[in-house]
Amino acid sequence: MAGSRTGTWLRRLTREGPANRAELVELLRLSRQGGVLDAEALAMIEGVLRVADLQVRDIMVPRSQMVVLERDARPEQLLPVVVESGHSRFPVIGDDRDQVVGILLAKDLLRHYAEGTGGGLELGEVLRPAAFVPESKRLNVLLREFRASRNHMAIVVDEYGGVSGLVTIEDVIEEIVGEIADEYDVPEQTIRREGERQFLVQASTGVQEFNRYFGARLSDEEYDTIGGIVMQQFGRLPRRGEAVTMDGLEFRVLRADRRHIAELRVTTPTPVPAPGESHGA
């Protein structure tokens, strides 16, 4: 049956071609069911298609959450903010957040300290020009501009010219490939007990870790994370509330966005002992 559907998909694609984007997505999903694409590849292709429909306002970091530096701050006031935030680029403001005068790269600030000249730093001498983009700019256009200009950050402005947020090249890429964690991201507890048979599980939990905790036998040959295995079972990116059963365990999607599964509720057929307890207790 799967081979027949795949053959139909290939014939339609090569002879007729999709008439619109919705039909293209449907054909791609049929190809996933036929084994031509895996679930992660399909999710990435759908992410590429979505980027053309999204605007900067859909993914920007809001103004209230921006980590900024003040132009008139003393060098010793800047360093703690840079170190604690873990960011590599910072908007520098003048009198208020609507006056962005440039971008400070953390490496430029740290270079001055490494050379022993940090105390006499003139911030204006090391600022990079800030790029400004409107909230309505399409993400595919923004990505093209980022690549051409080699900028990694842009300040987002509203229709009146006020600052409404910022966006980075990483934000755009994450719409395609999913969340990109780095060494500054604080790791969450991957498995949290809700009851004897119910558990909250982060989709990023490794398959081997999951198997050890639950005594399961899920294969990690194709996917490293439990979220990848669940998505494979659905053959697509599931919606919140959808559930699937594997190895006697029920996996219900609690949180998911346009790109990936974030959190699952796992219900076991029998109680699972708490860590340190014996299974025979």
- CA angle at 186 for the pair 184 and 192, rounded to the nearest 5°: 160
The pLDDT, as a whole number, for residue 181 is 58
The pLDDT, as a whole number, for residue 281 is 39
Domain finish residue from 146, 177, 208: 177
* In a shared domain, residues 108 and 44: no
In a domain, 9, yes or no: yes
Per-residue pLDDT of the chain (281 residues; tens, 9 = 90+): 445 555 555 565 556 667 777 777 787 888 777 777 777 777 778 878 888 888 999 888 888 888 899 988 887 788 888 887 778 899 999 988 889 999 999 888 888 777 766 556 777 778 999 999 999 999 999 999 999 999 999 999 998 889 999 999 988 988 877 766 555 454 557 899 988 899 999 998 999 999 999 999 998 888 889 998 998 899 888 888 899 999 999 999 988 766 678 889 999 999 887 655 444 43
Count the residues in the chain: 281
* In a shared domain, residues 216 and 251: yes
Contact 96, 102 (CB under 8 A): no
Domain carrying residue 48: 2-55
* In a shared domain, residues 131 and 207: no
Give 129-132 contacts, CB < 8 A, sequence gap 24+: 129/102, 129/103, 130/91, 130/100, 130/101, 130/102, 130/103, 130/154, 130/155, 131/155, 132/100, 132/156, 132/157
What are the counts of helices (DSSP H) followed by strands (DSSP E) for the chain?
A: 11, 12
Q: How many CA atoms lie within 13 A of 251 on its CB side?
A: 27
* In a shared domain, residues 39 and 74: no
Burial 57-79 (b: 16+ CB within 10 A, else e): bebbbebeebebbbbeeebeebe
In a domain, 280, yes or no: no
H/E stretch holding 171 reads helix 169-177
Give 143-146 contacts, CB < 8 A, sequence gap 24+: 143/51, 143/169, 143/172, 143/173, 146/172
* In a shared domain, residues 13 and 89: no
> Strand pairing of 261-267 and 69-70?
unpaired
Residue 46's nearest CA partner among 271, 231, 276 is 231
Q: Please return the burial class of 200, using the count of CB atoms within 10 Å of its CB with bins 0-12, 13-18 and 19+.
A: middle
Give the pair of three-digit tokens for residue 25.
């997505």
The pLDDT, as a whole number, for residue 264 is 94
In a domain, 273, yes or no: no
Give the C-alpha distances (Å, rounded to integers) separating 49 from 21, 43, 44, 222, 224: 8, 10, 9, 25, 25
In a domain, 159, yes or no: yes
Residue 48's nearest CA partner among 34, 36, 37 is 37
Residue 82's nearest CA partner among 119, 118, 110 is 110
3-class secondary-structure state, position 67: coil
Domain finish residue from 142, 177, 212: 177
CA 255 centroid distance within chain: 13
In a domain, 70, yes or no: yes
In a domain, 251, yes or no: yes
* In a shared domain, residues 39 and 61: no
* In a shared domain, residues 167 and 115: yes
The pLDDT, as a whole number, for residue 211 is 93
Q: Cα–Cα distance between 188 and 211 in angstroms, integer?
A: 18
The pLDDT, as a whole number, for residue 120 is 64
In a domain, 62, yes or no: yes
Indicate the number of domains in the chain.
Answer: 3
In a domain, 32, yes or no: yes
* In a shared domain, residues 145 and 227: no
* In a shared domain, residues 86 and 73: yes
Q: Please return the burial class of 281, using the count of CB atoms within 10 Å of its CB with bins 0-12, 13-18 and 19+.
A: exposed
Give the pair of three-digit tokens for residue 259.
């790109």
The pLDDT, as a whole number, for residue 147 is 92
* In a shared domain, residues 145 and 64: yes
* In a shared domain, residues 71 and 121: yes
